[in-house]
Amino acid sequence: MNSRVANKIATGVFTAIAAIIIFVLVGLLSYILYRGFGKLTLDFLTSPSSDFQAGGGIGNQLFNSFYILLITMMIAVPLGLGGGIYMAEYAKPGKITDFIRSCIEVLASLPSIVIGMFGMLIFVNLTGWGYTIFSGALALTIFNLPVLVRVCEDAIRSVPRDQKEASLALGITHWHTIKTVLIPSAFPTILTGVILASGRVFGEAAALLFTAGLTTPRLDFSNWNPFDETSPLNIFRPAETLAVHIWKVNTQGLIPDVQEVADGSSAVLILSVLLFNLLARWIGSLVHKKLTAAK
């Protein structure tokens, strides 16, 4: 029968498509890890990068990436949680809520380079700070906020209604219910979402080009005074992250070992993102087991 043949062909085509997708991912990952694995020495991971000579590491960039991630999350998570609570608990259906939803949609769909330019306009030029970690973190907060608001809103909404009503029926105020009932039971889901968002922030480069800058000053890792110029903890210094570093060495690099540095950096970046992903999954399944009492 003709339709049977067509059916078989179609099944074959769809299976081939699935195989292509899997092949692309496996190819990408194994290529990056295979190329980069040999470079992942302790020396490469900890020594500072060099601008002209071969043999530079990515120590500062790695530190900057994690530090910017930390600062971003310190600003973005409370804001995202607040926005999520508002949308899930306080927002009444109407024009204002619709408008906030549209705003979230717009923020989520903005190209990251546009967010970077806005960050440069406000947090770099208008404030007069110049390229700083803090400007970068604020730009990344805008980049990240819509995702976090959605994650928190969904997490709070997915808490069983009975729990909330039981608390309200006991005469506990709305805010106290949110604080002591809703947030604790939504916490695992929120945490999973925050970790996944961290992976996104960790690999972001375009929003940081014009806000955190392309350079890192000499850092003295024995100086932990956050107000000192050479201290790694100073948030008002320029900082080049790992993702930005990969872009920079590839497009305007002057060092002879561009390939090696880029290989190693990409492997570190991918491994970190994989780690974030696995961590999120692991926490998710842990919580699922706990909540559903399945073994």
Partner 1 sequence: MAKEFSTASERLLKKSNRAALKMEMRGKSIVLISAILIIAATISITIFLGTKGLQSFLVNGINAVEFLTGTVWDMGKDGGNGPSYGALPFIFGSFAVTFLSALIAAPLGIGGAIFMTEIAPSWGRKILQPVIELLVGIPSVVYGFIGLTVLVPFVRNHVGGQGFSLLSGMIVLSVMILPTVTSIATDTLRSLPGGLRESSYALGATRWQTIYRVLVPAALPGLLTAIVLGMARAFGEALAVQMVIGNTKELPSSLLDSAGTLTTIITLNMGHTTYGSVENNALWSLALILLIMSFIFILIIRYLSSRRQYR
Q: How far is the CB of 30 from partner 1 (least distance, A)?
A: 11
- Minimum distance, C-beta of residue 60 to partner 1, in the bound complex (Å): 17
Other CB atoms within 10 Å distance of the CB of residue 93:
7
Phi, psi (rounded to 5 degrees) for 143 = -60, -35
Chain centre to alpha carbon of residue 30 = 23
Nearer to partner 1 by Cβ, of 134 and 276: the residue is: 276
Task: Give 1 or 293: the residue with its C-beta nearer to partner 1.
Answer: 1
Q: Which is nearer to partner 1, 74 or 220 (CB)?
A: 74
Q: How far is the CB of 174 from partner 1 (least distance, A)?
A: 6
| Cα 29 to Cα 12, 61, 279, distances in angstroms | 26, 22, 18
Q: Kindly state the smallest distance separating residue 278's Cβ from partner 1, in Å.
A: 10
Closest of 43, 30, 35 to residue 264, by C-alpha? 35
- Specify the amino acid at residue 46: T
Sign of CA dihedral 80, 82, 86, 88: positive
Shortest distance (Å) from residue 253 CB to partner 1 = 11
The CA distance from 151 to 79, in Å, is 12
Query: Residue 4, class by beta-carbon neighbours within 10 Å (0-12 exposed, 13-18 middle, 19+ buried)?
Result: exposed
Please check whether residue 258 is in contact with residue 250, taking contact to mean a CB–CB distance below 8 angstroms: yes
Nearer to partner 1, 126 or 225 (CB): 126
Nearest to partner 1 of 228, 286 (CB atom): 286
Report yes or no: 153 and 234 within 8 Å, Cβ to Cβ: no
List of E strands, the chain: none
Distance CA 180, CA 185 (A): 9
Q: Which is nearer to partner 1, 87 or 194 (CB)?
A: 87
Q: Which is nearer to partner 1, 24 or 220 (CB)?
A: 24
User: CA 70, 76, 78, 84 torsion: positive or negative?
Assistant: negative
Output 233 or 271, the one with its CB closest to partner 1: 271
Minimum distance from residue 160 beta carbon to partner 1 (Å): 21
Residue found under tokens 């900890």: 46
Contact 157, 135 (CB under 8 A): no
Residue 1 Cβ, how far from partner 1 at the closest point, in Å?
Answer: 9
Q: How far is the CB of 81 from partner 1 (least distance, A)?
A: 8
